[in-house]
């Protein structure tokens, strides 16, 4: 999530309630609680975006010229740094095979999507003809990419890109803007829709094209519950923002119940808190 780029240290979470989590909170390395591993790429500002079931993570680091680059970090700490564009690379999702998706910045300042295969081959794409920006969010086990694009009117629409490159676009019913965040092993897309009065709801788009929407307890008008990948138990993991501007992690079960939680020592001032994503196929 690119808003996390202001944090100097990425850190990845352990097993929590049956889901492998990648959580971030703007706190110093020394404040991270037990079960968290902190790191920086080349001692530069580092933001983690996603984690897979091998505990490899992907994300973005920012160099001293303020250019952003992608990275992959294995569970053993081995690092791969890469660029899909000379103007900036934002790595957003990784699957268990090690394929990564995300966004590149073009010379004009627009964004395009990319897929980096496990062997390092990079493919650039646009979600729709005339799209102002294309922003992939996640990549499924089979290589299907989920994300959103801007139609040029500051409105987001969802898309799925098949491994062969075919694009399917979609919108949450009744929402003025649709922002997919991830895709699970069954092809369900998870994210949120925003109404015309800026009220957000979490959403799940099932593989058959039908939708589930939900509101996170204590989320306020003008904010959203950002749902990340559901795991094999049907649990959706994400975060919301309360009335004080503080983010909290949540688990949403397929029975409709919520569990809210915070990362150890997460900040409690406006803009602080806990931002969480799950692996795309965490086992129960």
Find the CATH number of the domain harbouring 53. Answer: 2.120.10.30
**How many structural domains comprise the chain?**
1
Does residue 131 form part of some domain?
Answer: yes
Looking at the chain, the whole-number percentage of residues with pLDDT higher than 70 is: 76
Residue 139 lies inside a defined structural domain of this protein: yes
pLDDT at residue number 234: 62
In a domain, 283, yes or no: no
In a domain, 87, yes or no: yes
pLDDT of residue 233: 55
- Express each pLDDT in 223-279 by its tens digit: 444 444 444 556 777 777 787 888 888 877 777 788 888 877 777 888 788 776 554
Residue 34 contacts residue 72 (beta carbons within 8 Å): no
**Is 19 a residue whose pLDDT tops 70?**
no
Q: Is the separation of the CB atoms in 119 and 99 below 8 Å?
A: no
Q: Is residue 184 part of a domain?
A: yes
Strand partners, 60: 47, 70
Can you give the pLDDT at residue 35?
Answer: 58
**284 domain-assigned:** no
pLDDT, tens digit (0-9, with 9 covering 90-100), for 55-70: 899 999 999 999 999 9
Q: Does residue 159 lie in a domain region?
A: yes
Among the ranges 54-58, 156-160, 215-219, 235-239, which has the highest mean pLDDT value?
156-160
Instruction: Report how far apart the first and last C-alpha atoms of the chain are (Å, whole number).
Output: 25
Q: How many CB atoms lie within 10 A of CB 203?
A: 26
| Residues of the domain holding 178 | 2-278
pLDDT band at 203 (very low <50, low <70, confident <90, very high): confident
């Amino acid at each position: 999530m690119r808003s996390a780029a202001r944090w100097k240290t990425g850190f990845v979470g352990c097993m929590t309630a049956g889901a492998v989590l990648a959580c971030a909170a703007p706190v110093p390395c020394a404040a991270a609680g037990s079960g968290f591993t902190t790191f920086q790429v080349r001692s530069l500002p580092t933001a983690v975006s996603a984690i897979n079931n091998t505990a490899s993570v992907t994300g973005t680091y920012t160099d001293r010229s303020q250019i952003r680059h992608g990275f992959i970090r294995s569970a053993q700490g081995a690092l791969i740094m890469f660029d899909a564009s000379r103007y900036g690379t934002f790595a957003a999702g990784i699957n268990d095979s090690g394929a990564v998706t995300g966004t590149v910045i073009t010379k004009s300042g627009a964004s395009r999507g990319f897929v980096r295969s496990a062997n390092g081959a990079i493919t650039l794409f646009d979600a729709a003809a005339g799209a102002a920006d294309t922003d992939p969010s996640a990549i499924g086990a089979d290589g299907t990419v989920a994300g959103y694009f801007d139609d040029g009117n500051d409105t987001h629409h969802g898309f799925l890109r098949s491994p062969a490159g075919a694009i399917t676009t979609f919108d949450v019913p009744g929402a003025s803007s649709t922002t997919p965040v991830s895709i699970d092993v069954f092809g369900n897309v998870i994210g949120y829709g925003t109404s015309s009065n800026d009220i957000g709801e979490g959403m799940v788009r099932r593989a058959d094209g039908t939708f589930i929407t939900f509101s996170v307890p204590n989320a306020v008008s003008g904010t959203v519950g950002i749902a990340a990948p559901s795991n094999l138990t049907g649990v959706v993991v994400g975060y919301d923002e309360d009335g004080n501007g503080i983010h909290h992690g949540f688990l949403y079960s397929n029975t409709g119940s919520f569990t809210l939680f915070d990362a150890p020592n997460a900040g409690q001032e406006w803009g602080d808190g806990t931002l969480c994503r799950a692996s795309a196929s965490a086992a129960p």
